[in-house]
Amino acid sequence: MRVVFHVLFIFLYSLFDIFLTFFGITLYSSKWSINFENIWKNLNIFNYSYWTSPLDFIILVCFRQIVLLITFIIVRYGKSEKLKKHILFVDIAAVLSYMISTIKILAFDETSGFLANSPGAFINVGSSIVFSLLLCGLVRVSILSSQFNYQRLEEDQTEETSTTPTSTSEVEGGSTTNSESTDNETEKEEDDGVSKEEKENRLPLLKHVYLIMKICSKQWKWFLLSYGLLLVNCALNLIEPALYSQMLTNAITMKSFDILKHACFLLAAVQLAEAISSTAKTTCMSYATNKTTKQIRVNLFKAILHQDISFFDENKTGQLMSRITHDSDSISNSLPGYIETTTENLINFFGALPIMVYYSWQLSITAFITFPISLILTKIYGLYIEKLSEKANDATAISNETVQEVLAAIRTVRSFASERTEYGRYTKNTDDWFKISLKSIMASTTFGLVWYLMWNVEDVLVYLYGGYLTINGRMASENLLSYVFYHWRLHSALNSFTNMFSDLMRTIGSSRKVIYLLNRKPVLDYENGSETPEVLGTIVFDGVEFAYPTRKNVEVLKNLNLTIEKGKTVALVGPSGNGKTTIVSLIEQFYAPKSGQILLDGTNIQNIQHEYYHSKVALVAQEPTLFSGSIRDNILYGYENGSEEEMLKVAKMANVHEFVEKLEKGYDTKCGEKGIQMSGGQKQRIAIARALIRNPAILILDEATSALDSESESLVQDALNCCAKNRTVIIIAHRLSTVKNADKIAVIEKGQVTEIGTHFDLMKNIDGMYYKLVSKQLEPKKEEQKNDDDIF
Across-strand partners of 760? none
Only segment of 204-212, 446-454, 548-556, 563-571 that touches ligand ATP (CB under 6 A): 548-556
Position 577 contacts ligand ATP (CB under 6 A): yes
For the chain, report the end-to-end CA distance as a whole number of angstroms: 65
Only segment of 438-446, 521-529, 546-554, 603-611 that touches ligand ATP (CB under 6 A): 546-554
545: helix, coil or strand?
Answer: strand
- What percentage of the chain's residues is helix, strand, coil (to nearest 5)? 70, 10, 25
| Closest to 303 (Cα-Cα) out of 118, 521, 490, 627 | 521
Nearest distance in Å: CB 313, ligand ATP? 5
Q: What stretches of 605-753 show up as alpha helix (H) in DSSP? A: 610-616, 631-635, 644-653, 657-660, 680-692, 710-723
Separation between Cα atoms, residue 242 and residue 262, nearest integer Å = 15
Only segment of 38-46, 114-122, 570-578, 603-611 that touches ligand ATP (CB under 6 A): 570-578
Residue 445: exposed, middle, or buried by beta-carbon count in 10 A (0-12, 13-18, 19+)?
A: exposed
Only segment of 50-58, 298-306, 365-373, 545-553 that touches ligand ATP (CB under 6 A): 545-553
187: helix, coil or strand?
Answer: coil
Only segment of 103-111, 321-329, 576-584, 612-620 that touches ligand ATP (CB under 6 A): 576-584
Q: Which is nearer to ligand ATP, 230 or 620 (CB)?
A: 620
For residue 33, give the DSSP letter.
B
Only segment of 103-111, 374-382, 543-551, 676-684 that touches ligand ATP (CB under 6 A): 543-551
Q: Which is nearer to ligand ATP, 340 or 755 (CB)?
A: 755
Only segment of 15-23, 398-406, 571-579, 679-687 that touches ligand ATP (CB under 6 A): 571-579
Position 556 contacts ligand ATP (CB under 6 A): yes
Q: Which is nearer to ligand ATP, 477 or 576 (CB)?
A: 576
Q: Which is nearer to ligand ATP, 371 or 590 (CB)?
A: 590
Phi-psi domain of 589 (left: phi exceeds 0; alpha: psi -120 through 50; beta: other) = left
Nearest distance in Å: CB 714, ligand ATP? 22
Please report the DSSP string for 591-637 in residue order: S--SEEEEEETTEEGGGB-HHHHHHHEEEE-SS----SSBHHHHHTT
Are the C-beta atoms of residues 617 and 691 closer than 8 Å to each other?
no
Across-strand partners of 599? 540, 604
| Closest to 626 (Cα-Cα) out of 618, 635, 617 | 635
Q: Which is nearer to ligand ATP, 455 or 590 (CB)?
A: 590
Q: Which is nearer to ligand ATP, 53 or 310 (CB)?
A: 310
Q: Which is nearer to ligand ATP, 577 or 638 (CB)?
A: 577
Position 578 contacts ligand ATP (CB under 6 A): yes
Separation between Cα atoms, residue 464 and residue 106, nearest integer Å = 14
Nearest distance in Å: CB 314, ligand ATP? 9
Q: Is the dihedral of CA 710, 716, 719, 724 positive or negative?
A: negative
Separation between Cα atoms, residue 249 and residue 368, nearest integer Å = 38
Residue from the set 580, 632, 744, 772 that interacts with ligand ATP by CB under 6 A: 580
Nearest distance in Å: CB 285, ligand ATP? 45
Only segment of 194-202, 385-393, 580-588, 678-686 that touches ligand ATP (CB under 6 A): 580-588
Q: Which is nearer to ligand ATP, 4 or 554 (CB)?
A: 554
| Closest to 507 (Cα-Cα) out of 374, 396, 343, 388 | 388
Q: Which is nearer to ligand ATP, 104 or 594 (CB)?
A: 594
Residue from the set 551, 665, 782, 786 that interacts with ligand ATP by CB under 6 A: 551
Q: Which is nearer to ligand ATP, 580 or 670 (CB)?
A: 580
Nearest distance in Å: CB 591, ligand ATP? 8
Please report the DSSP string for 551-572 in residue order: GTTSEEEEEEEEEE-TT-EEEE
Nearest distance in Å: CB 379, ligand ATP? 42
Position 582 contacts ligand ATP (CB under 6 A): yes
Q: What stretches of 360-476 show up as alpha helix (H) in DSSP? A: 361-369, 371-408, 410-415, 419-471
Position 579 contacts ligand ATP (CB under 6 A): yes
Largest CA distance in the chain: 122
Residue from the set 576, 625, 643, 787 that interacts with ligand ATP by CB under 6 A: 576
Nearest distance in Å: CB 788, ligand ATP? 17
Q: Which is nearer to ligand ATP, 102 or 578 (CB)?
A: 578
752: helix, coil or strand?
Answer: strand
Position 548 contacts ligand ATP (CB under 6 A): yes
Separation between Cα atoms, residue 405 and residue 614, nearest integer Å = 29
Position 550 contacts ligand ATP (CB under 6 A): yes
Nearest distance in Å: CB 769, ligand ATP? 12
Q: Is the dihedral of CA 548, 553, 554, 559 positive or negative?
A: positive
Residue 193: exposed, middle, or buried by beta-carbon count in 10 A (0-12, 13-18, 19+)?
A: middle
Position 581 contacts ligand ATP (CB under 6 A): yes
Residues 17-76 that bind ligand ATP (CB under 6 A): none
Binding mask 255-294 for ligand ATP (x = CB under 6 A): ----------------------------------------
| Closest to 719 (Cα-Cα) out of 750, 687, 747 | 687
Nearest distance in Å: CB 613, ligand ATP? 21
Q: Which is nearer to ligand ATP, 197 or 386 (CB)?
A: 197
Only segment of 535-543, 575-583, 632-640, 691-699 that touches ligand ATP (CB under 6 A): 575-583
Only segment of 33-41, 86-94, 240-248, 544-552 that touches ligand ATP (CB under 6 A): 544-552
| Closest to 758 (Cα-Cα) out of 771, 737, 743, 736 | 743
Q: Which is nearer to ligand ATP, 518 or 556 (CB)?
A: 556
Position 490 contacts ligand ATP (CB under 6 A): no
Nearest distance in Å: CB 579, ligand ATP? 4
Residues 306-335 that bind ligand ATP (CB under 6 A): 313
Q: Which is nearer to ligand ATP, 54 or 579 (CB)?
A: 579
Nearest distance in Å: CB 370, ligand ATP? 56
Separation between Cα atoms, residue 381 and residue 493, nearest integer Å = 18
Are the C-beta atoms of residues 296 and 284 closer than 8 Å to each other?
no
Q: Is the dihedral of CA 288, 290, 292, 298 positive or negative?
A: negative
Number of residues that bind ligand ATP (CB under 6 A): 12
696: helix, coil or strand?
Answer: coil
Residue ranges binding ligand ATP (CB under 6 A) = 313, 548, 550-551, 556, 576-582
